[in-house]
């Protein structure tokens, strides 16, 4: 689970150009996420998506010793973004963070965040996997809970992850 350095990609100019180009959609998606999210946690996740795009593009465009440092930055940025994704997923429909009984300075979530921040430089891939797994568990619990235990109406449950204008994936009337 530990990154092995800059890797063997980007051997030719065409590979570099393609890899930089495939990093750019993260900037666009992050920008749209920042503009359309209703919660500050959702907007922070959008900012981290843009950071992923910028760090990945910088890594793929770099040469020499800079590549090693930028590869680490790329991994760390992804790990941080997955943490913000997990936090954005736990926002309540009302737009506030779903803190629960274990929140606060002495709570488990604060301790979890501090532990992941310490482990990220050593095992960024593991941190990303743990954050993604936590998000999946949250969504599974929410999907399995009935309306009485969840947010109430299904539309309310989705409102914290949906764009502010109410559009859904596949809507033709969505504006950018």
Average pLDDT of the chain is 75
| Residue 172, domain member (yes or no) | no
Distance of CA 62 to the CA centre of its chain: 24
| Residue 166, domain member (yes or no) | no
Q: Which residue has the tokens 């009935």?
A: 146
What does the buried/exposed string (b/e) look like for 39-63 if buried means 16 or more CB atoms within 10 Å of the residue's CB? bebbbbbbebbbbbbbbbbbbbbbe
| Residue 176, domain member (yes or no) | no
| Residue 164, domain member (yes or no) | no
| Residue 89, domain member (yes or no) | yes
| Residue 143, domain member (yes or no) | yes
For residue 107, the model assigns a pLDDT of 57
Structure confidence by residue, pLDDT tens digits, 130-170:
888 888 888 888 778 765 444 444 444 444 444 555 544 44
CA distance 134 to 173: 33
pTM: 0.66
Average of pLDDT values for 15-29? Answer: 93
Distance of CA 90 to the CA centre of its chain: 13
Structural domain total, the chain: 1
pLDDT at 105 exceeding the cut of 50 = no
Q: Which domain holds residue 31?
A: 13-97+105-158
CA distance 140 to 172: 29
| Residue 109, domain member (yes or no) | yes
For residue 137, the model assigns a pLDDT of 85
CA distance 42 to 35: 10
| Residue 170, domain member (yes or no) | no
């Amino acid at each position: 689970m530990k990154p092995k350095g800059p890797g063997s990609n980007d051997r030719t100019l065409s590979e570099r150009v393609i890899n930089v180009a495939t990093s750019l959609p993260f900037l666009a998606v992050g920008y749209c996420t920042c503009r359309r999210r209703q919660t500050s946690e959702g907007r922070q996740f959008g900012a981290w998506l843009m950071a992923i795009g910028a760090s990945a593009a910088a890594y793929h465009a770099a040469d020499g010793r800079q590549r090693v440092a930028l590869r680490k930055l790329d991994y760390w940025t992804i790990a941080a973004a997955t943490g913000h994704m997990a936090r954005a997923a736990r926002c309540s429909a009302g737009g506030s963070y779903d803190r629960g009984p274990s929140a606060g300075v002495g709570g488990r979530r604060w301790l979890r965040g501090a532990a992941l921040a310490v482990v990220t430089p050593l095992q960024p891939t593991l941190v990303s996997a743990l954050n993604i797994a936590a998000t999946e568990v949250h969504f599974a619990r929410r999907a399995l809970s009935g309306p009485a235990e969840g947010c109430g109406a299904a539309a309310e449950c989705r409102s914290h992850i949906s764009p502010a204008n109410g559009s859904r994936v596949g809507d033709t009337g969505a504006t950018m």
